[in-house]
Chains A and B, each alone.
Chain A
Amino acid sequence: MNVAAALTHFFIPQESNRHRARLLQVPIIVLLFLVFVVSQRVVQTPQQKILGYASQISPTEVIRLTNLKREESGLKDVTENSDLDRAAKAKGLDMLSKGYWAHVAPDGTQPWDFFKSVGYKYRYAGENLARDFSNSSSAVEAWMASPSHRENMLSDRYKEIGVAVVDGSLNGKDATIIVQLFGTTLAGSPQVPIAAAADKGEVKSVAVVSQTPAPIIKQTPTESLTHSTETSPVTVDYSRVLSLGVIGFILTALIVDAGVLWYKGTHRAGSKSIAQIAFFGLILGLILAVRVGRIL
C-alpha cells in the first residue's frame, strides 16, 4: 500500500475501510483519546508551565474596580485596610501551602481566622476568592456575575477591603489566586456575621466573634512561591491549545467523512455524522469560549 492509499484509507471513507474513515473508527478514536489524555497530563505538569503565572493583576486595580462597581450601584467606596491586605495574603499563602481551594481549610481553619490572626476585630466580614484569571477586570466581572459574590461586593455593611494576589503551585498546577476580604471594624457589638461567598449563591457562613485573641496562624509558604503585584510572563495555556487542536482535527475529519459520503451518495450504517459534527462543533465552541478563571 503506497502512502497516498494509506492516507485516503485513513481519512476518506471508501470500500477498504467499510465507508468510514479509519481515523474515525472506534479503535483509532480510543487510541487517540488515550494519547490525548496522557498529553494533557504532560502539558499540565508544573515543569511545562514555568511561565504559567497569569497575572497582570494588582490588588490596587482589583480594589479600584470593586469601588467602581459599588459607585455604579450608588454605594460608598470601601477603603483599603493594610490589616485586611495582610489577612488576604495569609489566606492565599495558606491555600498554596496546604494545597486547598476552598473557603474553609482542610484542617478546619475558617476564613475569619485570618481576620483575627492580624488583629482585625470585625463586626462584618466577607471573603471572595478567584483563581487563574489573566487580569483584574475579568475576575471582578466573574464575581459580579455570581449572585453571592456580587452580594459581598455590593454590600453596604462593608467599609473596608483588603486584597492579595499570590502565585504558586496549587496541587501541582500553577495558580494565581486573588483573595478579596471585606470588613467593618467592631463598634461595640459582639455579634458578627461573616459571609464567605458560596459557589451556588445559597450558603452563607455565619459566626459570632470571639473577643479572645485568636491564635496566629503559622504560614509555611513553599520556596517556589512568588507574590505578584506587577506584570509577570504571559500565560500560554497549553492545555487549551491541545484540546482545541485535537477536537478541531476530529471535527475536520468528521466533516470530510460526511462530505465524501454525501458526494458519493453512499449509505452507511453506524452513528449519524451530522449528530457527531454538531456535538464536536459544540465542544469546540465551549473550549474556545470557556472562562479560564474560577471563583469561590
Chain B
Amino acid sequence: MHKIIQQIPYYIPLAAIFLLGAFGFFAFSYDHVFQTGVVVAIGVSHVVWGIVYHTIHRDLTVLTVLEYIVFAAFGVTAVLLTI
C-alpha cells in the first residue's frame, strides 16, 4: 500500500494530460484539425511521461522507450483513422 501511495505523484501529471486531452478533444469536436492535434499531443505526452518516469526511476532502456512509442503510435493512429 505504501508503494502505491509513493507512486501517486508520478501519475498525477499523466492523469492531468489525459483529462486535459479528453476535454480538448470533446470541447473542440467541431474542429477536426484541432482534434487531430490534440490526439497527437496526447500520444507524444504519453511517450514523454514514460521517458521522464523511467529516467527518474533509473530503469530507462531502449526497449522501454520503444514500447511507449509503439503503443502511443497504435492508439493515436486508431483514433485518427476513425474520426
Nearest CB in chain B to that of A283: its residue: B75
Number of A-B contacts (CB under 8 A): 107
**Are A199 and B67 closer than 8 Å at their CB atoms?**
no
A271 to B66, CA, bound (A): 9
- Chain B window 39-83, contacts with chain A (Cβ cutoff 8 Å), 1 for yes, 0 for no: 100100010011001100001010110111011111111110111
Specify which of B15, B61, B66, B78 lies most central, judged by the most chain A CB atoms within 10 Å of its CB: B78
Taking a contact as CB atoms under 8 Å apart, the answer to whether B78 and A291 are in contact is no
Q: Provide the residues of chain B in CB contact with A285, threshold 8 Å.
A: 22
Set of chain B residues within 8 Å of A269, measured between Cβ atoms: 59, 61, 64
Query: Number of residues in B with C-beta < 8 Å to the partner?
Result: 41
Q: Tell whether, in the assembled complex, residue B15 and residue A287 are in contact, meaning their CB atoms are under 8 Å apart.
A: no
> Could you write out 30 A-B pairs with CB less than 8 Å apart?
A26-B67, A29-B70, A36-B74, A36-B78, A37-B77, A44-B81, A142-B29, A142-B30, A146-B31, A149-B30, A200-B33, A240-B82, A243-B79, A247-B78, A269-B59, A269-B61, A270-B61, A271-B50, A271-B67, A271-B71, A274-B11, A275-B46, A275-B49, A279-B46, A282-B21, A286-B22, A286-B79, A287-B82, A290-B29, A290-B83
Binding site for A on B (CB under 8 A): 11, 14-15, 18, 21-22, 25-26, 29-34, 39, 42, 46, 49-50, 53-54, 59, 61, 63-64, 66-68, 70-79, 81-83
Query: Could you tell me which A residues sit within 8 Å of B by CB distance?
Result: 26, 29-30, 32-33, 36-37, 40, 44, 142-143, 145-146, 149, 199-200, 239-240, 243, 246-247, 250, 269-272, 274-276, 278-280, 282-283, 285-287, 289-292, 294-295
